[in-house]
Amino acid sequence: MWGIAEMNVFFRIFTDFPFGIMLAELLFARYSKRKSFFWLRVLTAVPFCVVYALIANHYGTDSTGFILLDKLLILLIMALTGAWVWFCVDCDSTEYLFCILAAYAVQHFHHNLTVNLEILCETWMKTPFKPWESAALSIALMVLTYYAANRFLVRRLKDADISRVDRPRMLVNGLFFLLMTVFFIPDLPETFSMTRLLNFLYYLAADALVLFVLFGLLKESRQSRELDILEQLLRAEDHQRAITTETIELINMKCHDLKHQISLLRQGGNDAYVQEVENAVQIYDSSVKTGCETLDIILMEKLLLCDKHGIQLTCIADGASLNFMASSDIYSLFGNALDNAIESVLKEEDEEKRVISFSVAGKGQFLVIRIENYVTDPPMLEEEMPVTTKADKRYHGFGLMSIRHIVNKYGGELSISVEAHMFVLNILIPLNESKIPC
């Protein structure tokens, strides 16, 4: 038969600090690379929690010695549980620090909420909680708190590169947080009062602040990574533009020479064969003149691709209206937009539905660009961005991201919509007085 002492130990295992923070650490390490025999490693937490519960139950938490060592004990447990995380998952020091701080904030919020709600109930009912009642309240609030943490915080870590987070700023934030919570433990009354309420709100603000800063740094690192990738893509596109320009110029030269040779072949008869050869050459000798050389190169390149795949590409473009944009920006903007449209219509089995049209024109004080393509199954839009159905989502959307980056560079606006099975990309850019030749 278990006595009161044994029951207290059992309840402490699942309600005291070590179990709470280790569970939270496991939660925030959910997407980290697991080491071999992961679940066996996780189970090593059990003897640690049992030993802590036995010691805490024997010495209590109200003795003077325990209070004096309380701050150091919290730091020691955090260090030991942190070592346990490193024992279970393969992560670098930045990811490790992020996990520890986020886990402590969630565990601290749960503990603060549990203690104050229990004291509020005891003050109202004028009856102290039994150990099992305290444990039941703690576990119920733990389930709710950790579910909310997983739902609104942990899921943001999927596919996130925590190792890129600014470690010095995160370390300063962590030290400040520990100073606010560990080294500031006031002597509070045993009954619920205004002092306790203010202390609860103070701790609540500290927990929210550290989580806000941590995930703010994570968002900042993600944006920095996306900008790095965009810069690499733009450099690659600039290099591709130079190669494409040279290739198309060479093709035009060769086609011009072939036309003269075909004229000579006509004199030898076999007009049907000569006509077939001439039609084939004509495809590569198609001349596009919009008034902007860079746009002409893009259209030449994409028209060849569309002809190969049976795609109907129509264009009404006043290239002269683009003369305030850099050639690299024109190539990236229209290249990505047309590539996205071509990729979309290639999914249509019916070639009659493989239709792309776009227009470029200056209207008043604005440059108006509209690119649309047929789509049988319109994509879902989330924050004005199509939601990918691809398995690998890491590099999804960088084409549109590059377009948006260029549009923002010129102070313009971009919008995406689906109108009667037509995917429409609208771009509006104010015309500047400063002109940069194409």
Q: Which helix (H) or strand (E) holds 368?
A: strand 366-374
CA distance 79 to 182: 14
CA dihedral 106, 110, 112, 115 (to 10 degrees): -160
Provide mean pLDDT across the span 123-152: 85
pLDDT at 389 over 60: no
Query: Is the pLDDT confidence value at 9 over 60?
Result: no
Structural domains of the chain, with CATH: 4-228 (no CATH), 289-438 (3.30.565.10)
d(CA 369, CA 358) in angstroms, rounded, equals 7
Within 8 A by CB and 6+ apart from 110, the residues are 20, 138, 141, 142, 145, 146
pLDDT score, position 224: 72
Q: Give, for 300, the enclosing helix (H) or strand (E).
A: helix 293-309
**Between 183 and 106, residue with greater pLDDT:** 106
Residue 1's pLDDT is 44
Q: How does pLDDT run across 63-96, given as a tens digit for each residue? A: 444 444 567 777 888 888 888 998 999 888 888 8
Residues 6+ apart with CB under 8 A from 271: none
In sign, the C-alpha dihedral spanning 81, 82, 83, 86 is positive
Average the pLDDT over each of 69-78, 153-162, 211-220, 222-231 and give the range with the smallest value.
Answer: 222-231
Of 99-103, 115-119, 297-301, 347-351, the range with the lowest mean pLDDT is: 297-301
393-412 pLDDT per residue, tens: 444 456 787 888 889 888 89
